[in-house]
Structure 1
């Protein structure tokens, strides 16, 4: 139960007479001699460096806040719509926030707290952010005057905690968390615990991440899939794969269903330990569990096997996954095709591509281009031509260099007419033929003694502006 009486407001600055709005307090120029320091702690206020700027800011405030009494709504509008976009005063928002807290009868609420926390966190003013959080603890939102606390308190502190963790200020994050716990009703959400646990993990503080997880358990906050994924990943990073596997089993025992990230992390851990069979078994367990593969899952498995020289095992595994219908749409198996073609096994690469393409796992443009080049180098021109035709059928336009190389191969084999038909088809699909493509076709027809067809190609070159002069035209027309 919350307290019923309104808390005593503790301003950052001393209260001023109610007859007028208080003046902004300037700070002396740092370049001038400073008076002796007051032994009492300085007020946590952002101040101006020049009296002239101070005067201008006061004038700016009076211009846009004309009708007292000041309210959180009018102040928030001023901060968001006026001060924030001012080139000179935008960084003085906390100064104005503190000034407003000294206005008689004015009290900040969650709207101004939220705006100020976001502003300070996003601009990395973490010292001021700490002062602000302390102020919020001492002067809670008016929503907290009743039985329940303000529902925006946790989101406000969560944003600050996330900002602290992002820059590695974990002690400040924990202090902010402890302050938040004093203000909210009941337990903190699992999201805030996850932010802190992940912050410790990102900073390499594995033991502290476990400590905070244990604190979460003591607080009787039930972990979710993100909690376990963070800790499993941290165990794997710290070469404690056995403990990661135990946590995975414990996760399922507590009724928390693993997701694709959980499985991917463990499969990658198995592969890092050299336990490839266990990693593959985990993938099949993932299928039985009904968890869909992601592209990352396939990359971990296929690329991991290829790096260990188990290319054929990677082929069989990917084909089996394809037949089971679990290969995700958009997975680019270019890496496997490239390895096979580099090893001179373009025939096997074609089999893999055919199998996956038949199951509607269309390869990427770079995978198809790599396969065409591999087939060409293996003198499998017919297969390369077939792949090129399938590419054009699905409006996959090849690059002009690969296309011209295939045209040259066909013409060298005396199949210029096929090459010409391929060029016509590719043109309808958006491929812009260059002068090299036309020259290859014209030369091919010339070698085959088909001067009439060659003349048609040369005339088209002339229309396209690829022939610079009459001598070049005659040379091409005459073969």
Structure 2
């Protein structure tokens, strides 16, 4: 341990009555780095330095004169990381230990420190760390081979710089890593930089870095091509995106579902609806499976062109071809059809999809029931609810009350009450509104006895209305023939 650490008072030592002169402050030994480079962005007080030193010495009480990189990492993970006032001093401690003759950092301390700086967004310190790693190789790289952990350390650092738009630092890190590792960088590292450029609208820079990838004789993978396709589509250069797609196949890289989805979205953005549908069929011929995102892109693109029925026909066609993904929720299509007043077509869609094992979500059922009632198709609503109850799918009370109200308005109160009794057996939560709707329906149809029986049931179940509501219900029944 450094002489500076030994000057500090031993933790728990009782001071004499007349205190001696205070110990010299903890200072950094002479080094080529300035104090400002060793200090994190937030200020460091002398008290914090003493607290950090005391905490560190306490952690190493069994062997305070020397410690290993693993012990340093363990201290940072278990003690320093969660300390309320000293956690931001981890990089200070890291740089301080570099000045100790008995200590040498390795890839474990490099990796922990890099991830800590990335997660806390201290990118200026991260840049300094990478320069230190380049000048002080890991001990396991003393032979002819480099440290196998170096590429992973630089990968997370390059990603952090690219996400923050610090491309100067990202390129410095990339070039430094190339000099340190054995062989060529992985394609994923080039992809990180290309994606970073595209994310910040630097299309030319991203394409230029792709050219560098080719010159470095690194084979692009499917992620590389998908990134290029997406970048061109976002920049409204769809023709170039198609060129990349063709280049992708020429180089023997098989497109995946992301490739096709990106192009589908690009076709729709470019107003080329027929080409988009053709691309979907090409996707089937290619043997690439649809994802839920694929179906959503097709539905959304066609609906934006006011081709809602065509969208439902296309989904049915894909259903019959067996290419729709399991778990696909076609709520968007049901909503669009019902909004256009075509709830009958939505009912047909649900009926066929459900018959093939694609059960709608509860939200889809609710939307369809309300849509059918809105266009006067109460019979289809009842049929749908009965099928739902058979599958133990119970609608919520608001949706059910809406259906009962429509049935009663069309003088089908008897059918409405039968449906209520069936749903209650399946767990429907009944409320006072449900009874009031049915009693009013019986009154309008002149069914006084059924209405009075329902009033008694309502009261027995504890649904006691206020006096005005009760008088209105009983008055309606009194007028019933």
Q: TM-score, normalised by structure 2?
A: 0.88
In the alignment, the residues of structure 1 paired with residue 32 and residue 164 of structure 2 have an alpha-carbon distance, to the nearest angstrom, of 32
Task: Give 1:373 shift.
Answer: 1.9
* Contact 1:24-1:58 within 8 A present in 2 as well: no
Q: Distance in 1 between matches of 2:373 and 2:94?
A: 71
Residues 202-351 of structure 1: pairs in structure 2 closer than 5 A: 202-351=199-348
Instruction: Report what 2:67 is aligned to.
Output: 70
CA distance, structure 2, for counterparts of residue 170 and residue 80 of structure 1: 30
Q: Deviation of residue 24 (structure 1)?
A: 7.8
Task: Quote the residue 1:159 is aligned against.
Answer: 156
User: Which SS does the other structure have where 1:44 is aligned?
Assistant: helix
User: Structure 1 residues 365, 88: closer, same or farther in 2, change over 3 A?
Assistant: same
Report 1:9-24 matches (<5 A).
none
Alignment of 1:110-121 (within 5 A): 110-121=107-118
1:195 aligns to what SS in structure 2? helix
Report the alpha carbon displacement of residue 52 of structure 1 after superposing the two structures with TM. 2.2
Q: Does 1:108 align with 2:98?
A: no
Cα distance, 1:20 vs structure 2: 5.6
Deviation per residue, 1:398-429 (Å, 9 max, x gap): 23222112112222333323212211222233
2:53, 2:119 → 1: CA distance?
25
Offset, 1:40: 8.1
1:46 counterpart = 2:35: no
Tell me, in whole angstroms, the C-alpha distance in 2 between the residues paired with 1:69 and 1:213: 47
Q: Distance in 2 between matches of 1:442 and 1:339?
A: 35
- Aligned residues, how many? 455
User: Which runs of structure 2 are paired with 1:82-97 in the superposition (5 Å)?
Assistant: 82-97=79-94
SS at match of 1:257: coil
Distance between the aligned counterparts of 2:179 and 2:171, measured in 1? 13
Q: Does the 8 Å CA contact 2:158/2:192 hold for their aligned counterparts?
A: yes
TM-score where L is the length of structure 1: 0.88
Shift, 1:475, TM fit: 6.6
Which residue is equivalent to 1:462? 459
Decide whether aligned partners of structure 1 residues 266 and 20 sit closer, same or farther in structure 2, where only a CA change above 3 A counts: same
- Ranges in structure 1 where 5+ consecutive residues have no aligned partner: 1-14, 28-37
Worse-superposed segment, 229-238 or 303-312: 303-312
Q: Return 249-258 or 85-94, whichever deviates more.
A: 249-258
Partner of 2:194: 197
Q: Measure the CA separation in 2 of the matches of 1:44 and 1:437.
A: 73
Please, which moves more after superposition, 168-177 or 331-340?
331-340
Distance of 2:449 and 2:39 partners within structure 1? 86
Which structure 2 segments of 5+ residues have no match?
Answer: 9-23
Cα distance in 1 between the residues matched to 2:38 and 2:191: 32
Distance 1:286 1:471 in 2: 65
1:138 aligns with 2:135: yes
Q: CA deviation at 1:431?
A: 2.5
Give how far 1:42 is off. 4.8
Q: What's the CA shift for 1:450?
A: 4.3
Q: Provide the residue aligned with 1:35 in structure 2.
A: none
CA separation in 1, counterparts of 2:193 and 2:5?
Answer: 46
Check whether the contact 1:137–1:179 (CA below 8 A) recurs between aligned residues.
Answer: yes
2-side partners of 1:464 and 1:242: how far apart?
69
Corresponding residue of 2:54? 59
Question: Which structure exhibits the higher relative contact order, with contacts defined as CA atoms closer than 8 Å and separated by 6 or more residues?
Answer: 1
DSSP 3-state at the match of 2:38: coil
Contact (CA 8 Å) 1:150, 1:184: kept in 2 or not?
A: yes
Distance 1:239 1:446, change over 3 A: closer
Counterparts of residues 277-426 of structure 1 (less than 5 Å): 277-426=274-423
Please identify, of 376-385 and 284-293, the stretch whose mean Cα deviation from structure 2 is larger. 376-385
1:390 CA displacement: 2.2
Change (3 A) 1:315 1:19: closer
- For 1:40 and 1:439, locate their aligned partners in 2 and report how far apart those are by CA, in whole Å: 83
Q: Which stretch of structure 1 is more off in the superposition, 395-404 or 59-68? A: 395-404
CA contact (8 A) 1:154 1:180 kept: yes
The Cα shift of 1:463 comes to 3.3
Contact 2:67–2:103 (CA<8 Å) still a contact in 1?
A: yes
Q: Which residue number in structure 1 is paired with residue 16 of structure 2?
A: none
Cα distance change of structure 1 residues 117 and 39 upon mapping to structure 2, 3 Å threshold = closer
Alignment partner of 2:281: what SS?
Answer: helix
Q: CA deviation at 1:198?
A: 0.6
**Aligned in 2, Cα 1:463/1:99: closer, same or farther, shift over 3 Å?**
farther
Once the two structures are TM-superposed, the CA of residue 474 in structure 1 deviates from its matched residue by: 7.5
Deviates more, 1:179-188 or 1:403-412: 403-412
CA distance in 1, matches of 2:330, 2:153: 44
Shift of 1:126: 1.0
